[in-house]
Amino acid sequence: MKKLSVAALMLLMLVSTLGVQAQTKSKLEQDLEDFRNWMNRRVNQGDSITRAEWPTVKQEFRARTQSLDRSSSQMNEASKQEYGELKNQYQEWEAEKEERYGQPLSRETAATWERRLVGTNKIGQLKASQLRGTFVRFMENVRAQRTDWSLRDWDYAEHVYLQLNDRKQQVLSQMSNSDKMKVAALQVEFNTLRKSRDAKDKYNQMREQR
């Protein structure tokens, strides 16, 4: 009877251990699948990812790979190979992005672009009642000048846009609903133009490489 109880206890412990391993494996497989899906989504975005979004992408990568790195020894060979390939793909992609976004903007040039697009270097002092008109002026200049811009020029235009957006958030509660709606529409237009330019540039690069 005692031997039977010991055998039953050992069997219970074995089943419990296998269950924990199965759960660990399932969690690991899910994390790898989530990372794979994240990579596909981000890479498919291509050059539509802006300078402002890039730090968030890098943080997401570190967060998603941290636990996978710790658990990589528990992966089977196929999963290890896939994980390594996904990380290599990201590193190549990051190197390409850092070549562009890793170069800081010139403070003097940024100030010139602020005056060029909105007529002032004091965006942080704009009143709530001035935001709509300033955004309108900004987009009028973007529409008029964008055809001659390089990607670096777009980086400076985005700098001005982000300064305006920061000021908008600071005075949002003081803005009228109609002004909020108008500014929101102009923000959508700017981001659409920016991302379409990036996509066009990427397409031209691919054609040149053929």
Q: Does residue 53 sit in the same domain as residue 84? A: yes
The pLDDT of residue 198 = 57
What angle in degrees, to the nearest 10, is found between the helix axes of 107-118 and 151-171? 70
Q: Does residue 147 sit in the same domain as residue 84? A: no
Determine the structural domain holding residue 121 and report its residue range.
Answer: 107-209
The pLDDT of residue 207 = 46
Q: What is the pLDDT of residues 192-203, one digit of tens each?
A: 898 876 545 554
CA distance 151 to 162: 16
Q: What is the mean pLDDT of the chain?
A: 82
Q: Does residue 78 sit in the same domain as residue 157? A: no
Q: Does residue 197 sit in the same domain as residue 137? A: yes
Domain contains 9: no
Closest listed residue to residue 45, CA positions, set 152, 205, 199: 199
Q: Does residue 131 sit in the same domain as residue 184? A: yes
The pLDDT of residue 11 = 52
Question: Integer distance in angstroms from the first to the last C-alpha of the chain?
Answer: 78
Q: What's the Rg (C-alpha) of the chain?
A: 26
Give the model's confidence band at 15: pLDDT under 50 very low, under 70 low, under 90 confident, else very high.
very low
Asked if pLDDT for residue 20 goes beyond 50, the answer is no
Q: Does residue 177 sit in the same domain as residue 197? A: yes
Say if residues 25 and 74 touch (Cβ distance below 8 Å): yes
Q: What is the pLDDT of residues 98-150, one digit of tens each?
A: 777 767 788 999 999 999 999 999 999 999 999 999 999 999 999 999 998 98
Neighbours of 139 (CB within 10 A): 19
Q: What is the pLDDT of residues 31-52, one digit of tens each?
A: 889 999 998 888 777 666 777 7
Tell me the torsion sign for CA atoms 73, 35, 198, 188: negative
Q: Does residue 50 sit in the same domain as residue 137? A: no
Number of domains in the chain: 2
The pLDDT of residue 57 = 86
The pLDDT of residue 144 = 96
Neighbours of 35 (CB within 10 A): 21
Q: Does residue 133 sit in the same domain as residue 80? A: no
Domain contains 87: yes
The pLDDT of residue 120 = 95
Q: What is the pLDDT of residues 85-111, one digit of tens each?
A: 999 988 888 887 777 776 778 899 999
Q: Does residue 77 sit in the same domain as residue 164? A: no
Asked if pLDDT for residue 9 goes beyond 70, the answer is no
Neighbours of 161 (CB within 10 A): 24
Q: What is the pLDDT of residues 51-93, one digit of tens each?
A: 777 788 888 889 888 888 888 888 888 888 999 999 998 888 8
Taking residues 166-189, report their average pLDDT: 95
- The DSSP secondary-structure symbol of 99 reads H
Q: Does residue 49 sit in the same domain as residue 134? A: no
The pLDDT of residue 1 = 47
Q: What is the pLDDT of residues 155-175, one digit of tens each?
A: 899 999 999 999 999 999 999
Closest listed residue to residue 72, CA positions, set 84, 60, 54, 89: 84
